[in-house]
Amino acid sequence: MTLANQTKLVTVFGGSGFVGRHIVRALAKRGYRIRVAVRRPDLAGHVLPAGNVGQIALVQANLRFRNSVDRAAQGSDYVINCVGLLQESGRNKFDSVQDFGARAVAEAARAAGAKLIHLSAIGADSGSSSDYARTKGMAEKAIREILPDATILRPSIVFGPEDQFFNKFADMARTAPFLPLIGGGKTAFQPVYVGDIAEAVANLVDGKALPGRIYELGGPEVLTFRQCLEIMLAEIDRDTPFISLPFPIASLIGSIASLIPLLTPPITADQVKLLKSDNVVSKEAEAEGRTLAALGVTPTLVASIIPSYLVHFRPQGQYARTGKAA
């Protein structure tokens, strides 16, 4: 923490979410003043203890309403956008949040004279058949036009407390007769720890890396979908069997489940499209030094983190003896 940091204001859009909370915590440790911009400040009080009294402020901002976005970014030295959707629900659509919303944040950052850090995703492609990847790609394209010196971070699948991958399948393993291996479970991931993403962002705000680049963030190991589930099952000491689901069948199930009111589908047809391509750091990014290492972060292993938050999925809780070797 330095005195210079205390004079800088960082606005974090989506700062109360899974990734956003960790970013706020990392910035608070370094002494920055932080403005957390969220739709419902009354539900975001849990981020305040991450900093000292008065260090973190909550402000209302809705990406659909440009005036609220401009107001939240005003006076900022840095603007960080980590708002995103894994699946659509109600009025939360990929186009409105990940494309239109990202454009609004970029334009607000430009108007405020602030530097922008935008969280995208590996696989972002404006020409993708997946709405998720398409809108991520469209947002990147717009941001490069609005703020050429903006920094874009593309993480692989993110893990950590309250993630929506390991937690989701661990919960399914407690009651489901089987776990689905979409496309045979061969899709490759490079799981990245949420805390590593937060450190990367904080290092960028510290000025420890080159701005205006697209970085791809992955962990130290490449794992298939099946391997990820096997690691999870070993940790929660369960032997739920797998069943292979071809992509067409998985897509049909996702489409039907999405039509049922009040049901959160275990997987959507759009997510099935994403699983048809590997989600790993590209060879180009590695060769050009656009990875976590270039941002001063040593990637964290999955096995070193998930025991801390998957323990309650074990049959007898955290004190149960597991089948793993001691």
Fold (topology level) of 3-155: Rossmann fold (3.40.50)
Residue 32: closest CA among 151, 207, 154 = 207
In eight-state DSSP terms, residue 106 is H
pLDDT digit string, tens, across residues 114-157: 999 999 999 999 999 999 999 999 999 999 999 999 999 999 99
pLDDT digit string, tens, across residues 242-259: 999 999 999 998 888 777
pTM summary value: 0.94
Average of per-residue pLDDT across 261-274: 82
Rounded Cα distance, 125 and 273, in Å: 13
pLDDT digit string, tens, across residues 89-98: 778 899 999 9
In eight-state DSSP terms, residue 277 is S
Residue found under tokens 């938050």: 309
User: Which amino acid is present at 179?
Assistant: L
Domain ranges of the chain: 3-155
